[in-house]
Structure 1
Amino acid sequence: MNVEILARIQFAFTIAFHYIYPPLSIGLGLIMVVMEGLFLKTGKKIYERMTRFYVRIFALIFGIGVATGIVMEFEFGTNWAVYSKYVGDVFGSALAAEGIFAFALESGFLGVLLFGWSKVKPWVHFLSTVMVTLGSMFSAIWIVVANSWQQTPAGYHIVGSGLDARAQITDFWAMVFNPSSVQRITHVWLGAFLSGAFLVLSISAYYIRKKRHVEFSRKSLKISLAVATVCALLQLVAGHQSADVVARYQPAKLAALEGHYDGTKAADMYLFGYVDQKNNQTHGVSIPGGLSFLTQGDFKKPVAGLNNFKPEDRPKAVNFVFQTYHLMVAIGMFMIALTLYSCFLWWRGKLFDKKWLMYIFSFSVLLPQIANQVGWYSAEVGRQPWVVYGLLRTSKALSQAVSAGNIIFSLILFTWVYLVLFGLFIYVLNKKIKHGPYDDENLDHSPRHIEMADSLG
């Protein structure tokens, strides 16, 4: 393999592994806000038990997420020096904003969240939970802004030339609110909320199946199911809006997502299939003119196809982009069906009568994780051959001094380290879940909490 392919594989591996954790922490943070808010409103200790239990899981996820994210910053310098120089002004301002407005907020209140139960008033602790959750959401904003600028650059001009060329910000807010940032932030947030909600659904269903902490689990399952249902439905809208932006600003990517080649014809919307790249054809089950209708409101209007672009200006791995995109959509539709059906059973008073449903929920934690991963794959591979769309090609963004051997060595090293970290994460997470929430007698019954519960009860 050449240096470019190896560098892309290494970065894809490290970012994919890291991206397991931030969505979980963002989504779990939202669930904790709801749970602790219910405790403040009702004074019922069971909601405090929920919050305490999931705070411990949140701390584990947060710690592993921070550790795995640091590596990517070094990879920018070692493997992608030209790219780092090119986007340095843009990324520098966005990542600085993340540190000031997001990470400082999140880490500043994290200590109160973890250790402040008996040391601050309940409303102060609730405030810390809200601030940590907002901090994680703000962090996502600036990361997505930086990535969205690569997809739809705005608010910049280019200074220098050749290897010394770089994008310089001319309008900070135009850079922040570039054409795709708002839609993509919403899409990422909802994916994160679904990750956290389905994690709680999974744990709650496991306890219900094992007949442990039944009252605790039934209440926590209902909370997470409500969040999951709302977010799954909103994700359908957010995903459509994001696709509209792709259609307008990245037509080659859209053509790859749907395997559409002939730009003189209306574009079908494939439900599933495969792309024969050798013959420039797509085979599968489709809705005739469906993509034309979604993007232009007319089943017969043509949509730009891959044949409209030079071979060097369009993605090479079209079938990969096609399959990952359709897998993301399929999982999204399944989550909508699953949550709506479960809400119907809840309304009928039969939610916990279906053992098979609890089995599905037990493993459902994988659904949003897979959807988040393949969604990023389709977005990033679909952007190729550009690392900054229309401005800087991926092949030109590499470090000039790095060799294939250097990358292979570091990739093997990272793989072993990440496998150890993942094994440790699964071991500790499994141990915490099997231990379960603390019993009532182990809760902190400090005068402040007793007084709060009495006053609200």
Structure 2
Amino acid sequence: MFGLEALELARIQFAFTVSFHILFPAITIGLASYLAVLEGLWLRTDNRVYRDLYHFWSKIFAVNFGMGVVSGLVMAYQFGTNWSRFSDFAGAVTGPLLTYEVLTAFFLEAGFLGVMLFGWSRVGRGLHFFSTLMVALGTLVSTFWILASNSWMQTPQGHEIIDGRVIPVDWLAVIFNPSFPYRLAHMATAAFVATAFFVGASAAWHLLRGRDNPAVRKMLSMAMWMALIVAPVQAIIGDFHGLNTLKHQPVKIAAIEGHWENKPGEATPLILFGIPDMEAETTRFKVEIPVLGSLILTHSLDKQVPAMKEFPKEDRPNSTIIFWSFRVMVALGMLMIAAGLWSLWLRRTGAIYHSRPFLYFVLWMGPSGLIAILAGWFTTEIGRQPWVVYGLMRTADGVSNHSYGQLGFTLVMFVVVYFAVFGTGLAYMMRLVRKGPHTGEEEQPPGGPGQKRTPARPLSAADDGHEANSSLTERN
């Protein structure tokens, strides 16, 4: 298929499924915490706007949560089908970590999700709020275990290799491996920022169409406060994460920077733009700023950053890809910070809900958080290559013994099914977003015996239709 080998098809297939999957948990993490904040504010202030927003976003959360669960199951199966040698080699570490995620996070979410979604009028306020908090906590616990497993693949420790298999000898060292704290903070914060811009874009869309009400205004206000506070924090976390990567995976940093060789006595420049050429071992058409690379990456004016030519060719990741994926992530991060600062200035002038250029900017920034997450994930995972477990097992040694035809066929099927199933789910979710939150004035009758209500079954609407036809006949 297009000149690709079986190994490359297996990698593309996993990249495709994980790219779909990561979007749903990111929004789930952010929305769960957002819902907890909304319900807490409603309980404290008794402001109906917070309650209306809770009901609105809980529907979107439910759809997103369901798609995240389904897409996650497919990834779990792929470890056994396409990467069986990796599972055999590292399963003693990755298997228990993923099991802990199910036993703690998934069971916690499943136990309280029903109460959260369907218990609003069936349980007390305190119990319902507790359920929302437990679901939000469950999403963060899930992030903890997933990032622990993936971070161990980046910076493995706390193990021994016995008879060709990894055996854990220190679980605390396995879980709290060197890159784990930075990657956990970076991913969780990214989820909050991505959700903030998703919520903010939804509010901007309604305001641009003239639907200006307290609920929509509150959506935009809360989203922009989150962007103003969290986006700069994310940049600081990213800096610490970069320093950690420089220490433990220096070749990844060299590839990200498109930096091929150091000149004696010269600080490392920062290459803003260019096209890394893996064959020629150079970055073509580069635009660089002297010394700035050393300042950002080593926090000094004279220390040099490791260069690609210092590492064997077979150990170098593809700089052409991660050079640009990293810059996409950073550029979007800077635009997020700019959006937060712009919103602060507009608050001072009282124009945050009326400035159409700002609202259009927030609208177009809606998917920016998710795109940045994908770009960062590509940078992290492709930057680890050619290792599936860094320094221990090469990716080529971890793939199952499948044929080119089998992987090509299943890849095509994944693409078709994913776009059909998740495309439909996303379309439905966006339809809910376009409806917007019901305010107190738009509230439907509560329903019940002898009261008007939205039918639970489609055929139950027949009586309403009969009444409408009778009224029309009388008028004629």
Q: TM-score range by the shorter chain?
A: over 0.9
Mapped pair 1:431 → 2:431 = yes
User: How many Å apart are 1:273 and its aligned residue?
Assistant: 2.6
- Shift, 1:377, TM fit: 0.5
Instruction: Map 1:18-417 to 2 at 5 A.
Output: 18-160=21-163, 165-212=164-211, 214-264=213-263, 265-282=266-283, 283-315=285-317, 317-400=318-401, 402-417=402-417
Task: Report the CA distance between 1:300 and its aligned residue.
Answer: 2.1
Find the aligned partners of 1:33 and 1:284 in 2 and give their Cα distance: 47
Contact 1:263 1:306 in 2 (8 A): no
Secondary structure of the residue aligned to 1:286 is: strand
Q: Structure 2: which amino acid aligns with 1:31?
A: Y
Count matched residues: 440
Task: Measure the CA separation in 2 of the matches of 1:83 and 1:198.
Answer: 37
Equivalent pair of 2:49/2:439 in contact (CA under 8 Å):
no
Q: Which amino acid aligns with 2:125?
A: P
Q: Distance in 1 between matches of 2:225 and 2:306?
A: 40
Asked if residue 17 in structure 1 is aligned to residue 20 in structure 2, the reply is: yes
Partners of 2:335 and 2:68 lie apart in 1 by 28
Identity of aligned residues (%): 39
Q: Between 211-220 and 262-271, report the one with greater CA deviation.
A: 262-271
Partner residue in 2 for 1:452:
none
Q: Secondary structure at the match of 2:296?
A: helix
CA offsets per residue over residues 279-304 of structure 1, 9 Å max, x none? 32224333312222233332222221
Cα distance between partner residues in 1 of 2:251 and 2:97: 27
Pair 436,294 (structure 1): closer, same or farther in 2 beyond 3 Å: closer
What's the secondary structure of 2:288's corresponding residue? Answer: strand
User: Secondary structure at 2:196's aligned position in 1?
Assistant: helix
Once the two structures are TM-superposed, the CA of residue 45 in structure 1 deviates from its matched residue by 0.9
1:365 and 1:158 map into 2 onto residues whose CA distance is 46
Question: What is the letter of the counterpart of residue 418 of structure 1?
Answer: Y
1:382 and 1:248 map into 2 onto residues whose CA distance is 14
Query: Does the 8 Å contact 1:49/1:443 carry over to 2?
Result: no
Asked if structure 2 preserves the Cα contact closer than 8 Å seen for 1:263 and 1:308, the reply is no
Q: Does the 8 Å contact 1:207/1:214 carry over to 2? A: no
* Residue 232 of structure 1: how far off its partner (Å): 0.4
Which residues of structure 1 form unaligned runs of 5+? Answer: 447-457
Q: How far apart are the structure 2 equivalents of 1:327 and 1:73?
A: 29
| In 2: Cα distance, 1:279 partner to 1:299 partner | 29
Using the TM superposition, name which of 118-127 and 142-151 deviates more. Answer: 118-127
By how many angstroms is 1:439 displaced? 4.4
AA at the equivalent of 2:387:
W
Task: Give 3-state SS (helix, strand or coil) of 2:400's partner.
Answer: coil
* Cα offsets for 1:234-260 (capped at 9, x unmatched): 100110011011100001101000011
Q: CA deviation at 1:444?
A: 6.0
Q: Deviations over 1:119-173 (max 9, x none)?
A: 112222121111111101110111111110011001101011xxxx211111001
**Secondary structure at the residue paired with 2:353?**
helix
Unmatched runs of 5 consecutive residues or more in structure 2: 449-476
Amino acid at match of 1:242: H
Alpha carbons of 1:352 and 1:190: their partners in 2 closer, same or farther (altered >3 Å)?
same
* TM-score normalised according to structure 1 size: 0.93
CA distance change for structure 1 residues 393 and 37 in 2, over 3 Å: closer, same or farther?
same
Cα deviation for residue 194 of structure 1 reads 1.0
User: How has the CA–CA distance of structure 1 residues 171 and 439 changed in structure 2, closer, same or farther, with 3 Å as cutoff?
Assistant: same
1:93-125 CA-to-partner distances (Å, cap 9, x unmatched) read 211111122111111110011001101122221
What is the distance in 1 between the residues matched to 2:304 and 2:433?
A: 53
- Per the TM alignment, residue 212 of structure 1 is displaced from its structure 2 partner at its CA by 1.9
Q: Distance in 2 between matches of 1:377 and 1:339?
A: 26
Distance 1:271 1:442 in 2: 55
Secondary structure of residue in 2 paired with 1:361:
helix
| Structure 1 residues 423 and 295: CA distance shift in structure 2, 3 A | closer
C-alpha distance in 1 between matches for 2:23 and 2:203 = 20
The one-letter code sitting in structure 2 at the alignment partner of 1:393 is R
Q: Deviations over 1:301-336 (max 9, x none)?
A: 222111001101111x21111000111111111110
**For structure 1, which segment, 290-299 or 318-327, has the greater mean C-alpha deviation from structure 2 after superposition?**
290-299
Deviation at 1:347, TM superposition (A): 2.6
Name the SS for the 1:208 alignment partner.
helix
SS at match of 2:172: helix
Distance 1:194 1:296 in 2: 27
TM-score, scaled to structure 2: 0.89
Whole-angstrom CA distance in 2 between matches of 1:188 and 1:222: 23
Q: Secondary structure at the match of 1:299?
A: coil
The amino acid across from 1:25 in the alignment is: T
Does the residue aligned with 1:267 lie in a helix, a strand or coil? coil
AA matched with 1:332: G
- Deviations 1:157-199 (CA, angstroms, capped at 9, x unpaired): 1011xxxx21111100111110000000000001100111111
